[in-house]
Amino acid sequence: MIFSAYGRGAGAGTSFPEMMAQVEIKRKLVIGLVWAAILLGPSFLAAEELSAYGNPFVRVSVGRVQVKAEVVDTPQKRFLGLSHRQELPEGRGMLFIMPALDHQVFCMRGMLFPMDLLWLGPDKVVGLEKKVSPQYVGDLKSPVPVRHVLEVPGGFCDKHGIKVGDRVSW
């Protein structure tokens, strides 16, 4: 006899057809979960890692360097960006996903530390702004239309030898 967690036999008080109906329900549930895992991919099985600000992370490869970047893709998150943060640790960044391929314009509003901006084409760096001071009051405009911009700590590009034309992927 098989005992359940309650100490009763698995079939105690349950008819054979009822037990088979319960087995069928469980079988369908397992099949449904397997299909959900297949259709939704790894995010179904593993919780997405989020920053303290609620932004998902993505690994961005620039040349030979990897950056753990927060992804911002809503108007409110793009507007806020890294404003009012005390720092951006080494190896970290923020990837802006813009709504359209266009000349993008950024500013240093509310910034408290210097930054490098990388204007990203589909697979390579197409422009750089290095060591932009938090006191800079002008606009920073992409040299060509782009849809993605990566912000990293000031000096990052020089430290890692990042240059226009370097390969980018995420």
CA distance 166 to 62: 7
Q: Which CATH number fits domain 57-169: 2.30.110.10, 2.60.120.1140, 3.40.50.300, 1.10.10.60?
A: 2.60.120.1140
Is the Cβ–Cβ distance between 146 and 122 less than 8 Å?
no
Total length of the chain: 170
Helices assigned H by DSSP within the chain = 16-40, 42-45, 75-80, 156-160
Residue 27 has pLDDT above 50, yes or no: yes
Q: Report the candidate in 151, 128, 135 with the shortest Cα–Cα distance to residue 81.
A: 151
What residue ranges do the domains of the chain occupy? 1-46, 57-169
Alpha helices in 16-165 (DSSP H): 16-40, 42-45, 75-80, 156-160
Contact residues for 40 (Cβ-Cβ < 8 A; gap 6+): none
- Average pLDDT over the chain, rounded to an integer: 86
C-alpha pair distances (Å), 109 with each of 2, 84, 121, 133, 167: 68, 9, 24, 11, 29
Does the predicted model carry a pTM greater than 0.85?
no
pLDDT digits (tens, 9 = 90+) for 108-150: 999 999 999 999 999 999 999 999 999 999 999 999 999 999 9
49-78 pLDDT tens trace: 999 999 999 999 999 999 999 999 999 999
